[in-house]
Structure 1
Amino acid sequence: MKKILFATTALVATAGFAAAEVAITGEAEMGIFNPNTEAQETQFFTDLDVRFTMTGEADNGLTFGATIDLDEAADRSNPGKFESPNTQGGENMFVAFGGARLTMGDTDGAVDFAVPEMGLAGGSLNDDETAHAGFNDADGFLDGTIFGVADDSGLAFDGAGDGQVARFDYSYDAFTFSVSAEQLANGDDVEVTVGTETFDLGSTVWGVGVSYSGDLSGVALTAGLGYQTIEDIGDITSVGVTGELTNGLSLGATYTQFASDIDGFDDIEHVGVGVGYSMDAVAVGVNWGQFDQDGDTIEGWGLAGTYDLGGGLSARLGYGKNDFSDVGGDDYNTWSLGLRMNF
């Protein structure tokens, strides 16, 4: 990916800084898509995203940086929300020294950071391969629904609060250990009443995780284990592993369980598998996943294909199938086709 740097790489030397750098990167996409083949017609697809990335290094070797994603910052219902210090609007920042790193803002909780997802190769304009009903993106609790006809589902607690996540990582050899926190209501305790029962949720989503990334007998192995909890709501435990062979083939599997503390609300389990292949300019990925709550299931599978045309330009195809038949919902498919430009 090309980086456009200000002021001839924007390297600045002052008494307080050893070096600082500012860069702009972005993507543009154009094509056609259908977000619901049962209810909508094929439409034009155009999208643009721009990021500003700032990095620096202090005299003592401490590194620091920040990123603002304009696609996330330009919230239609809350313009300029990234300017508010108690919410995140697409911005994150970090400080690091050696193997230790503290990141705050628009970043992953410990589960999402540690456990690999099953979109192993390729990509689409409309994220068809990772937005189907059976994909666990570990972001949000079933996309804000309890269980049933939901798409773009995640089984984790990221986003349960104000979206500001603080995560500390420590890397040693091939392992990274993580702990994260997200405030539910700017630090205040939260109580929710359902019927006649009141739940004390506390004030924080806590998470821990550990991940491994290294070479094992010629296989590029990535594995992760994560745990998140909200008081009186329940615990989420997730584990995943992926392996990439030298011939371009990659395989993966993941398992996640939500253990409920809510009376009358059954536990939820998710399983997912993925297969990918990358060689030269071609990348193709297929994944399948299923959520299960007391025998009721929703599931889906996704396909993504990419052909690299060089210079940051690629052709992309995506397809997603959403199956709600077991819970009485309407099945539907999604697809997209077009070009992506990386700058």
Structure 2
Amino acid sequence: MKKILFASTALVATAGVASAQDLGVALTGGAEMGIFGGDFYGTNNDDAQFLTDLEVRFTLSGEADNGLTFGATIDLDEANANGVHENEALQGGEAVFVSFGGATFSMGDVDGAYDARLAEMALAGGSLQDDETTHAGFDDQDGFFSNTFVSGLDGNEDGQIARFDYTFDAFTGSFSIEQDNQGQGDDNVYGVGFSYDGELAGINLGVGIGYQTQNDVANSTGISVTGAFSNGLSAGVLFTQTDFDPSGLENQRHFGIGVGYEVNALSMGLNYGKFNDYQGIDGREASGYGLAVSYDLGGGLAAQLGYSHSNIDGGGLGDVDFDSYSLGLSMSF
């Protein structure tokens, strides 16, 4: 009797999954287990710590009678802030879109046009703690992060962004707006960007330019170029400049370079970056490098290693050096 019950339960569950997929509902996720450590996580704290993490994502999709497609995604690990997900005026980890032909309009937890069209210099590999993208010299164009400042202004208000993209052949143009946070009187954040992704002389070439501005805060300008070769090598460069509006602050400039290599199940990437007049402080520099190595074990399981080193000095604020590392298994479902 129990065997019949279990079989029936499994049948119902399987039918439910199939029905959900037919309705345009997909469930994906990831998990991590391993160790991490380094000065990045606390002063003189190099001891290795256990690491576990879990992410769950729902993806919804549909198509109207006229061919317009629509959908939404939500990351459950980003939707647990106190009351944020229940407040329609705030972004709680969800993104919603409608698309027709080459045009797409998205709202919610999406990148601004500046970030969307520029490339990051982490070109291959990955790590459990994103060591390769969290060092002091890395510019992810994603706006304010903790007490540091990279280029871009995403998240300077409520984090809810509206972006329009139009793609024609290998070219994509984007425009975005992030409104002031709950009517606090700040100006909106505006962004615009263009990119080209195509093949040129046997190289998969990517070129991006972007501009983002908020009155009385700052404006950022950037350009990126990446190339992927048939032998598994890839390389890229990134230049950005952030002009701060408040008096007494210098223009922050950034240069980044990245290389990657992929062969069979192995992928690895190394990047370096440096900010001059970091955070608008004259003479202050922030630099760092990051390494990421992944080995695909098949079925969504990968072994990953990451390491980064950072240095911040000058500007009369003293010198700081710190590093981070992580090692373990990454799982995709």
TM-score, with structure 2 as normaliser: 0.90
Q: String of CA shifts for 1:203-242, please: whole Å, max 9, x gaps.
A: x100000011111111111111000001122210011011
Measured in 2, the distance between the counterparts of 1:48 and 1:176 equals 33
Counterparts of residues 5-20 of structure 1 (less than 5 Å) = 6-8=16-18, 10=20, 20=23
SS at 1:56 equivalent: strand
**Percent pairwise identity:** 52
How far did residue 155 of structure 1 move?
1.3
- Runs of 4 or more, structure 1, over 3 Å off, are 4-7
Question: What is the CA RMSD across the aligned residues, in angstroms?
Answer: 1.6
Of 294, 307, 315, the match for 2:295: 307
Count of residue pairs the alignment pairs up: 311
Measured in 1, the distance between the counterparts of 2:90 and 2:271 equals 34
| 2:23 maps to 1:39 | no
How far did residue 188 of structure 1 move?
5.2
Q: String of CA shifts for 1:256-305, please: whole Å, max 9, x gaps.
A: 00122221111100110000001110000000001111332110000000
Distance 1:5 1:213, change over 3 A: farther
Counterparts of residues 235-246 of structure 1 (less than 5 Å) = 235-246=219-230
Measured in 2, the distance between the counterparts of 1:11 and 1:61 equals 19
| 2:190 maps to 1:206 | yes
Partner residue in 2 for 1:290: 274
Counterparts of residues 173-322 of structure 1 (less than 5 Å) = 173-187=169-183, 189-190=185-186, 202=187, 204-293=188-277, 294-322=282-310
Residue 6 of structure 1 contacts residue 23 of structure 1 at CA under 8 Å; is this kept in 2? no
Partner residue in 1 for 2:27: 24
Residue 284 of structure 2 contacts residue 313 of structure 2 at CA under 8 Å; is this kept in 1? no
Of 49, 60, 70, the match for 1:64: 70
Measured in 2, the distance between the counterparts of 1:22 and 1:123 equals 28
Of 97, 102, 106, the match for 1:99: 102
| 2:322 maps to 1:338 | no
Deviates more, 1:291-300 or 1:118-127: 291-300
Measured in 2, the distance between the counterparts of 1:56 and 1:262 equals 46
- Structure 1 unpaired stretches of 5+: 13-19, 191-201
Partner residue in 2 for 1:196: none
More helix, by proportion: 2
TM-score, with structure 1 as normaliser: 0.87
